[in-house]
Amino acid sequence: MTHKWWQSAVVYQIYPMSFQDSNQDGIGDLPGITSRLDYLQKLGVDVIWLNPIYRSPDQDNGYDIADYRAINPKYGTMTDFDALLAATHAHGMKLLMDLVVNHTSAQHKWFQESQKSKDNPYADYYIWRDPVDGHEPNNWRSAFSGPAWTYVPARGQYYLHLFAPGQPDLNWENPKVREEVFNIERFWLDKGVDGFRMDVINLIAKPAGLPDVPGTPTAGTTLNFVADGKRLNEFLRQMNAEVLSHYDVMTVGEMPGSTPEDAIKYTGLNSHELNMVFQFQHVNLSPNPDVRIGKWYDQPVKLTDLKVALNRWQKALDGKGWNSLYWNNHDQPRAVSRFSNDDPEYRVRAAKMLATTLHMMQGTPYIYEGEEIGMTNAHFTRLDQYEDLESINIYHEMVDHRKLVDGPTMLKYMANISRDNARTPMQWTDGENAGFTKGNPWYALNANYPAINVKQALADRTSVFYHYQKLIQLRHETDLIKYGTFEELDPADNQVYAYRRHYQGQTLLVISNFTDQTVTRDYQQREAGQLLISNYRDDRGTQLRPYESKCYLFN
Ligand code: TEU
Ligand code: CA
């Protein structure tokens, strides 16, 4: 098996709205991103993934697309996009677009037409059903609260939306819809983009007959029930045959609920569909014990559970598929706050510890903007500080309507798990609005920007930034880090995460202390191992100080 370029790549995810404003309207934009390419090049990443930048009413921050071939004016123009793409390539990097084709915006012209009647050219572009006994055709729940169906009097029918009512699901059973999607892909690939991150791509093939979810469904059980429908393989294979295989691209499919077996089916090294998936196992580890409340909870993840999840994917995909490696993204809280410790006393070491633990695994690492300087959760305390529709809707559902949680408790859950933790603007400097904008920022800055920012990180040789830079450099230089097989060590240890990697007679040993205590572990790290990277100045052998993480090479 010859290796592909994306197997040695490190990806940097940009949330355009919150990255860098260039025209002082308070919103991040494309020229802003272009102005920061030198910074990304210094970090050493190979690929940039942009969250959606297409024309959109932004009910779900761009995941509701109204025109797949137009740039959202708040981000700039198509000329700005072409300039960003050219500059990215000139910096030796590649660019991935976010492709959201499970659903469109309700403002897309297809839906505007589709909703008018049962016999217009777009009538079957979406999933329409007659009422059953005067109500919704089945019991599916929307991921963003309420039923997954909305009634349209003009058609006398309901349409399906697994997400918000403003995000109607496309009907992939219709070959015309598939052709439209393939043409959109060609449009961007012909411009020279280097691939796609495909939003909830395992939801496109719905189960035949759209049966009820057994029992009382929640948003989460609805998505799991719908995921990985029978025709998914067929749709993805057709997309690959007709479009993707004609370009040298990288594709990553977001697949909530998928198992390693699914991943091998859709992204196996010998399959002709996608290159890798974003699996959700390790980010779904601390759900509320009351299943009705879903992910809304405030208890930390147990290290042993985290190891079960990540080790399972490392072992299962080895030689068969390819992992994506991520701690966080625009839908998840900040890694250092969630999986370790963002207390100022420990934050820098903890962020480096997490980075080493993930970046030494097999797969393609993804860094979410700000992760490389150890940005933290926002620690909001009031509902009016939230912007995300998922967070705001769930508060009203849980507190006001269903009364399952009281207000202050719900706010604690949101501070722990809300997507908005990841969406505060990038912290560039300790100056006005952290250097994100001179205008009025669309979203509040995290109050800790005077201490946590890029300017500080670049000036401090011991910063989280330089640790990431080193990890990326080590990956680029070392086949063992890229391709080595994974050996799990002591899965029942709830304090230390350790593993080995093996490749062509070489061994890598990674040992990370996930606690704020000093502990002792003996993995014969002293014997002839060369210390590749660590987050303490000196090496004390078997002794592991709070959040100490080290990685040795044995030749
Ligand atoms: O997310 C899909 C998804 O399943 C979840 O992570 C979702 O964000 C939600 O938090 C479940 O609790 C993708 C996008 O990444 C997300 O930003 C979009 O809102 C969503 O699809 C709809 O397009
Ligand atoms: Ca702007």
Find out whether the beta carbon of 388 lies less than 6 Å from any atom of ligand 1: no
Contacts of 86 (CB under 8 A, 6+ apart): none
Q: What is the pLDDT of residue 271?
A: 80
In a shared domain, residues 490 and 344: no
- Asked whether residue 143 carries a pLDDT value surpassing 80, the answer given is yes
The residue behind tokens 């250097």 is: 435
In a shared domain, residues 230 and 325: yes
> Looking at ligand 1, which residue's alpha carbon is closest to its atom 12?
143
In a shared domain, residues 531 and 492: yes
Confidence band (pLDDT; 50, 70, 90) for 304? Answer: very high
Ligand located closest to 219 CA:
1
- Asked whether residue 419 carries a pLDDT value surpassing 70, the answer given is yes
In a shared domain, residues 256 and 348: yes
479 in a structural domain: no
How buried is residue 77: exposed, middle or buried, by Cβ count under 10 Å (0-12/13-18/19+)? middle
Which one-letter amino acid corresponds to residue 337? S
| Annotated active-site residue in 180, 199, 369, 390 | 199
Q: Which helix (H) or strand (E) holds 50?
A: strand 47-50
- Ligand 2 centroid–CA 190 distance in Å is 27
What span, in angstroms and rounded, lies between the C-alpha atoms of 541 and 253?
41
Q: What is the pLDDT of residue 529?
A: 85
The residue behind tokens 């625009």 is: 330
In a shared domain, residues 79 and 199: yes
125 in a structural domain: yes
- Asked whether residue 391 carries a pLDDT value surpassing 90, the answer given is yes
> Looking at ligand 1, which residue's alpha carbon is closest to its atom 8?
331
Instruction: Express each pLDDT in 57-75 by its tens digit.
Output: 999 999 999 999 999 999 9
Total count of domains within the chain: 4
- Asked whether residue 340 carries a pLDDT value surpassing 80, the answer given is yes
Q: What is the ipTM of this complex?
A: 0.97
* Domain membership of residue 114 as a residue range: 104-169
- Ligand 2 centroid–CA 9 distance in Å is 29
> Looking at ligand 1, which residue's alpha carbon is closest to its atom 17?
331
- Ligand 1 centroid–CA 143 distance in Å is 8
In a shared domain, residues 366 and 463: yes
When the pLDDT of each residue in the chain is averaged and rounded to a whole number, the result is 97
Find out whether the beta carbon of 390 lies less than 6 Å from any atom of ligand 1: yes
Q: What is the pLDDT of residue 374?
A: 98
Q: Is 254 a catalytic residue?
A: yes
What's the average model confidence in pLDDT over 129-140? 97
Q: Of 114, 135, 169, which marks where a domain is finished?
A: 169
What's the average model confidence in pLDDT over 203-207? 97
Q: Is 430 helix (H, G, I), strand (E, B) or coil?
A: coil
45 in a structural domain: yes
**27, 36 in Cβ contact below 8 A?**
no
394 in a structural domain: yes
Q: What is the pLDDT of residue 1?
A: 62
474 in a structural domain: no
What's the helix, strand, coil split of the chain in %, to 5? 35, 15, 50
In a shared domain, residues 300 and 373: yes
- Ligand 1 centroid–CA 343 distance in Å is 28
- Ligand 2 centroid–CA 11 distance in Å is 24
Find out whether the beta carbon of 170 lies less than 6 Å from any atom of ligand 1: no
Q: What is the pLDDT of residue 37?
A: 98
> Looking at ligand 1, which residue's alpha carbon is closest to its atom 10?
331
**Which CATH number belongs to the domain containing residue 499 in this structure?**
2.60.40.1180
**Which CATH number belongs to the domain containing residue 134 in this structure?**
3.90.400.10
In a shared domain, residues 530 and 385: no
Long-range Cβ pairs for the range 182-191 (8 Å, 24+): 182/239, 182/242, 182/243, 184/68, 184/69, 184/99, 184/101, 185/99, 185/239, 185/243, 185/244, 186/243, 187/68, 187/69, 188/97, 189/243, 189/247, 189/249, 191/82, 191/85
Find out whether the beta carbon of 256 lies less than 6 Å from any atom of ligand 1: yes
In a shared domain, residues 265 and 409: no
Ligand located closest to 101 CA:
1
Find out whether the beta carbon of 143 lies less than 6 Å from any atom of ligand 1: yes
In a shared domain, residues 272 and 362: yes
186 in a structural domain: yes
What's the average model confidence in pLDDT over 176-192? 98
What's the average model confidence in pLDDT over 325-349? 98
CA triplet 70, 75, 76: central angle to 5 degrees?
70
254 in a structural domain: yes
Instruction: Express each pLDDT in 496-551 by its tens digit.
Output: 999 999 999 999 999 999 999 999 999 987 777 899 999 999 999 999 999 999 99
What span, in angstroms and rounded, lies between the C-alpha atoms of 530 and 292?
50
478 in a structural domain: no
Instruction: Express each pLDDT in 16-45 by its tens digit.
Output: 999 999 999 999 999 999 999 999 999 999
**Which CATH number belongs to the domain containing residue 75 in this structure?**
3.20.20.80
- Asked whether residue 269 carries a pLDDT value surpassing 90, the answer given is no
Q: Of 142, 169, 196, which marks where a domain is finished?
A: 169
| Annotated active-site residue in 64, 185, 228, 254 | 254
What span, in angstroms and rounded, lies between the C-alpha atoms of 491 and 508?
17
Q: What is the CA radius of gyration of the chain?
A: 23
In a shared domain, residues 434 and 508: no
- Ligand 1 centroid–CA 493 distance in Å is 32
Ligand located closest to 368 CA:
1
Structure tokens at 316: 């299962």
Q: What is the dihedral of CA 305, 310, 311, 313, to 10 degrees?
A: 130
Find out whether the beta carbon of 199 lies less than 6 Å from any atom of ligand 1: yes
Ligand located closest to 73 CA:
2
Beta bridge partner(s), residue 50: 14
In a shared domain, residues 248 and 358: yes
